[in-house]
């Protein structure tokens, strides 16, 4: 039997390249608490991504929780999308805020700004959209709405590493953006994440919040978490950054092959990527509907029988999860998309033979 093909597989640097970093850590015995490798990675990421300030985190979820705290959001409603990974919604509830789920635009899979505007009440304090699959939200319109209603705008940019939109980093929009460097992401540090912000004052606030709220040895200003990224993880990030452009090129090649192969299949829609200066091809979602002869779940099972493990990112929508039932709202577009979507394997080491096998299984019905 062929070996299994998963939705993704992390890229790793050459093992030997990691050893000098380990030697450095073993020699100077600085393992964490924003040491030299952590600082170097923050600087190199700012330069690579074209942003002013980055604060590294141990994962994207804690970065999200901290981002809301950094903006002083302690009560009220946060408008967000039901079509996302649970971490987005969890971060709102962890801050004792109320998530208000509004419907998406099925063309992009992102929150629809018209629905955002309709959902604003006198309790609304922030908007938390997701650049789903790395596809930019309607950033101009969302900023306009946030400005008009005096709301904070935080982007969950967990999928948006390196995306350039209208000539600048997508991470520059909004008050804050959070990233994930999880093993399954375009850029990984095993586990990891970051907040991108736009001022030295905000960076200092976030740096304190991710370190228990410590100001100095005798002053603690906030009741916050430990969100620091260790030196080993930062070292890995420095190495990964060296090959990021090759990683993105390899992803683009597979994205193009899939896209051109499915163009003539009725009932298969590839979610279009906006014409970006730089894309990151972070997922390959297809949307399955009639007259394609199989339902999404049937295609999922067929691929699985052939040892191909596509994923239903993002099914179910948040409001269909028992833990979010009390935040129920009517989001038919998100529900429909979640029942039709399938993310196909996409990662740099996916060989052409496997890509062809996946395409043929989808074509032959």
Q: Which residues bind to ligand T4K, rule: CB under 6 A? A: 6-10, 59-61, 84-85, 87-88, 130, 156, 158-159, 180, 182-184, 193, 309, 313
Query: Which residue number has the CB closest to ligand T4K?
Result: 60
d(CA 274, CA 107): 10
How are strands ordered across the β-sheet holding 98-101? Answer: 53-57, 193-197, 176-180, 152-156, 124-128, 77-80, 98-101
Q: Pick the closer one to ligand T4K by CB: 87 or 271.
A: 87
Find the shortest distance in angstroms from Cβ 18 to ligand T4K. Answer: 16
Pair of tokens at residue 264: 């003539």
Provide the minimum distance between the beta carbon of 9 and ligand T4K in the complex, in angstroms, as a whole number: 5
Q: Over 216-265, what HEC string results?
A: ECCEECCCCCECCCCHHHHHHHHHHHHCHHHHHHHHHHHHHHHHHHHCCC
Closer of 137 and 268 to ligand T4K (Cβ) = 137
Q: Is 141 helix (H, G, I), strand (E, B) or coil?
A: helix
Instruction: Tell me the C-alpha distance between 337 and 109, whole Å.
Output: 8
By beta-carbon proximity to ligand T4K, the closer residue of 159 and 269 is: 159
Question: Which one, 88 or 240, has the nearer CB to ligand T4K?
Answer: 88
Q: Which residues of 102-136 are buried (b: 16+ CB within 10 A; e: fewer)?
A: bbbbbebbbbbbebbbebbeeebbbbbbbbbbbbb
Residue 15 Cβ vs ligand T4K, minimum distance, rounded to whole Å: 16
Q: Which is nearer to ligand T4K, 292 or 313 (CB)?
A: 313
DSSP-derived letter for residue 123 is: T
User: Regarding beta strands 164-165 and 168-169, do their DSSP bridges make them parallel or antiparallel, or are they unpaired?
Assistant: antiparallel
**Quick one: tokens of 139?**
């950033």
Burial label, 263 (beta-carbon count in 10 A; 0-12, 13-18, 19+): exposed
343/313 Cα distance (integer angstroms): 6
Instruction: Give the residue with the Cβ less far from ligand T4K, 30 or 232.
Output: 232
Structure tokens at 9: 């597989």
Measured from the CB of residue 6, what is the shortest distance to ligand T4K in angstroms?
A: 4
User: Which among 313, 300, 307 has a CA at the least distance from the CA of 357?
Assistant: 307
Closer CB to ligand T4K, 292 or 310, in the complex? 310
In the complex, the smallest distance separating the C-beta of residue 199 from ligand T4K, rounded to whole angstroms, is 24
Instruction: Classify burial at 178, counting beta carbons within 10 Å of its beta carbon; exposed 0-12, middle 13-18, buried 19 or more.
Output: buried
- Shortest distance, position 157 Cβ to ligand T4K, whole Å: 8
Q: Which is nearer to ligand T4K, 193 or 285 (CB)?
A: 193
Shortest reach from residue 254's CB to ligand T4K, in Å: 16
Q: How far is the CB of 69 from ligand T4K (least distance, A)?
A: 16
Closest separation between CB of residue 273 and ligand T4K, Å? Answer: 17
CA distance 214 to 353: 53
Minimal distance in Å, beta carbon 250 to ligand T4K? 16
* DSSP-assigned letters across all residues of 36-86: HHHHHHHHHHHHHHT-SEEEEES-HHHHHHHHHHHTT--SSEEEE-SSS-H
Q: Is 234 or 292 the residue whose CB approaches ligand T4K more closely?
A: 234
Residue 143 or 184 having the CB closest to ligand T4K: 184
């Amino acid at each position: 039997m062929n070996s299994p093909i998963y939705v993704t597989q992390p890229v790793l640097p050459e093992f030997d390249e990691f050893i000098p970093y380990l030697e450095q850590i073993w020699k100077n015995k600085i393992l964490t608490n924003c040491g030299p490798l952590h600082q170097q990675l923050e600087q190199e990421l700012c330069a690579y991504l074209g942003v002013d300030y980055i604060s590294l985190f141990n994962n994207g979820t804690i970065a999200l929780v901290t981002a809301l705290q950094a903006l002083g959001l302690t009560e009220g409603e946060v408008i967000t999308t039901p079509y996302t990974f649970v971490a987005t919604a969890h971060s709102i509830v962890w801050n004792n805020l109320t998530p208000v789920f509004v419907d998406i635009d099925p063309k992009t899979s992102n929150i629809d700004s018209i629905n955002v505007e309709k959902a604003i009440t006198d309790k609304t304090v922030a908007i938390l959209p997701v650049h789903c699959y790395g596809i930019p939200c309607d950033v101009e319109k969302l900023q306009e709405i946030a400005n008009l209603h005096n709301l904070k705008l935080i982007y969950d940019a967990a999928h948006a590493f390196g995306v350039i939109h209208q000539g600048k980093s997508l991470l520059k929009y909004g008050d804050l953006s959070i990233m994930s460097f999880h093993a399954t992401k375009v850029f990984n540090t095993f586990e990891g994440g970051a907040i991108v912000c736009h001022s030295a004052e905000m960076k200092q606030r976030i740096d304190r919040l991710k370190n228990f709220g410590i100001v100095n040895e005798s002053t603690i200003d906030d009741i916050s978490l430990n969100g620091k990224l260790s030196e080993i993880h930062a070292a890995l990030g420095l190495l990964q950054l060296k090959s990021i452009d090759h990683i993105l090129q390899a992803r683009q090649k597979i994205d193009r092959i899939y896209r051109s192969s499915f163009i003539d299949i009725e009932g298969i829609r590839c979610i279009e990527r906006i014409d970006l200066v730089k894309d990151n091809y972070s997922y390959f979602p297809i949307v399955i509907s009639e007259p394609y002869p199989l339902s999404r779940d049937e295609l999922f099972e067929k691929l699985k029988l052939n040892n191909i493990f596509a994923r239903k990112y993002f099914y179910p929508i948040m409001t269909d999860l028992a833990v979010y039932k009390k935040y129920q709202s009517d989001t038919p577009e998100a529900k429909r998309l979640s029942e039709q979507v399938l993310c196909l394997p996409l990662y740099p080491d996916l060989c052409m033979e496997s890509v062809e096998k996946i395409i043929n299984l989808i074509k032959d019905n």
